[in-house]
Amino acid sequence: MKNRIVIFDTTLRDGEQCPGASMNLREKLEVARQLARLKVDVIEAGFPVISDGDFEAVHTIAKEIKGPVIAGLARCVAKDIDAAGQAIKPAGKRGRIHVFLATSKIHREFKLGKPQDEIVRLAVEGVKHARSYVDNVEFSPEDGSRTEPDFLARVCKAVIAAGATTLNIPDTVGWAVPEEYGALIKYLYDSVPEFQSGKAVISVHCHNDLGLAVANSLAAVRAGARQVECTVNGIGERAGNAALEETVMAIKTRADFFEGLTCGVNTREIVKTSRLVSRMSGLIVQRSKAIVGENAFAHSSGIHQDGILKKRETYEIMDPQDVGWGQTELPLTKHSGRAAVAVRLKHLGFKMTDADVAAIFARFKEIGDKKKFVYDDDLSALVEGQITEVIETWSIEYLSISSGNQTVPTATVRLRKVRGKDADIVAQDASIGDGPVDAVLKAIDRMTDTCGKLMDYSLRAVSQGKDALGEVTVKVDFGDAKLFTGKGASTDVIEASARAYLNAVNRFLANGNAQVKSETQP
């Protein structure tokens, strides 16, 4: 096992901390199920103490997901550790508590105001408290890459003695460069006997502020680290984290350089996982992204194309099918029955209730009437629309647009209030705007008595063809310093935009952030 690299996925914790990327419980569960199919070793499911929603997500994932270790994050504070211990309890022996405490000089002096001895004492106490819940305890000296190496070694020895089995050395602010970071990991490996004996494992958690997260992680692996903390698509705070797919495929593709190091990830699930995380988080994968970007295996140069035709290895260092690229299943049509749709949903890996299937099938028939084929990606978009639903305050009933290069864009929108006082009232309004989408959004704002500022808008074709579903993701600021994400899909991009914006409005209203207009408008 000394050459086995543990893949610790923190998409649901660090990845979800990316602004605008928050997921609801059902979205997190779908991602967790896919991570289990991907066969990651550890899923860091969240930070249980920060909210009831995060606690519920970690607890539910610990109860329902089988296979990977389920970890909950906690500061070296009793209430954090208690919350994490309770949240991961359903995982039993597969539960892990991940405690952290800053150790770097700048953090000690300016954030914590504590000397080295006090830092060591608090770290030891935190690990011992975590051990009262589980045997599997991980400790992270926050800002480890900027901590004095001798003090870092001292902390490692102290927390291992207290019961920690994994020591994570985070490059919290993306400060490190590969040669320097690799040297730090080697110093710790050589200085702490428990790393050499296998009693404890060195882990690394690298941020991408300088674009070096994967390079630093791989340098650390060469120097003795045996766990890599990463996220699908590299999402995370600021510039993100080490990308799981890049780390795993680098180790697999360059097995000659990494001298037999292996990991247990099922690489054929990588593209599917990437797409699911992108949908659930609302963060689009750039076309040129390594491994999972749409251009990752595209060759436009005539010289490259000629070489690929003669021998694939001339310009491709890995087989696209090894990471999940390949032909999609035969598409469904409007004549396909509910049973066929249910079977395809199961094949795609979604766990849907009968009510979910019924709702998805109704939307499937609507889409099927508008386009010849319904592809797997179309179906996935419908599933996303179902599991990202919030408790609706308003639903859209009617939409009409008048627009053109010689016409003032005008939108007429009819909404039905489906929750709260005066439920079932119908509001209809018309508005002009700079364009048809702007006109629609202004009409929705007036009827729902909200005032959203559109901070981000993205549109992409879900599948192939001129009749492809358009999938819109919006991030909206309603004035409370929090962005609300909305998603919608339709063959009509204006309708998709309206659905996405109303989805964000409903999320905002469901949080009790505004009073809804009750009067009917003509």
Longest dimension (CA), the chain: 77
- What's the rounded Cα separation, in Å, for the pair 385 and 57? 19
Mean pLDDT calculated for residue range 127-140 = 98
Give residue 294's pLDDT: 85
Residues 217 and 126 placed together within one structural domain of the fold: yes
Residues 126 and 235 placed together within one structural domain of the fold: yes
Cα dihedral 513, 519, 520, 522 sign: negative
pTM: 0.85
Cα dihedral 301, 303, 308, 314 sign: negative
Q: Is residue 520 part of a domain?
A: no
Mean pLDDT calculated for residue range 217-234 = 98
Residues 240 and 357 placed together within one structural domain of the fold: no
Domain that holds residue 504: 394-510
Give residue 465's pLDDT: 75
The number of CA neighbours under 13 Å toward the Cβ of 260 is: 3
Residues 162 and 304 placed together within one structural domain of the fold: no
Q: Which residue has the higher pLDDT, 13 or 19?
A: 13
Residues 150 and 239 placed together within one structural domain of the fold: yes
Helix 78-87 crosses helix 116-131 at what angle (to 10 degrees)? 30
Residues 356 and 372 placed together within one structural domain of the fold: yes
Residues 313 and 241 placed together within one structural domain of the fold: no
Q: Given a cut of 70, is residue 188 above it in pLDDT?
A: yes
Residues 202 and 132 placed together within one structural domain of the fold: yes
Q: Is residue 521 part of a domain?
A: no
**Highest mean pLDDT out of 31-40, 328-337, 449-458:** 31-40
Give residue 521's pLDDT: 30
Q: Given a cut of 70, is residue 388 above it in pLDDT?
A: no
**Helix/strand/coil (H, E, C) string of 382-400?**
HHHHHHCCCCCCEEEEEEE
Q: Is residue 161 part of a domain?
A: yes
- What's the rounded Cα separation, in Å, for the pair 263 and 9? 13
**What's the mean per-residue pLDDT of the chain?**
90
Q: Is residue 517 part of a domain?
A: no
Residues 414 and 457 placed together within one structural domain of the fold: yes
CATH number for 217: 3.20.20.70
Residues 263 and 216 placed together within one structural domain of the fold: yes
Q: Given a cut of 70, is residue 23 above it in pLDDT?
A: yes
CATH number for 495: 3.30.160.270
Give residue 522's pLDDT: 28
Q: Is residue 518 part of a domain?
A: no
Residues 176 and 305 placed together within one structural domain of the fold: no
- Residue 380: pLDDT band with limits 50, 70, 90: confident
Residues 20 and 96 placed together within one structural domain of the fold: yes
Number of domains in the chain: 4
**Which amino acid, residue 403?**
S
Give residue 327's pLDDT: 55
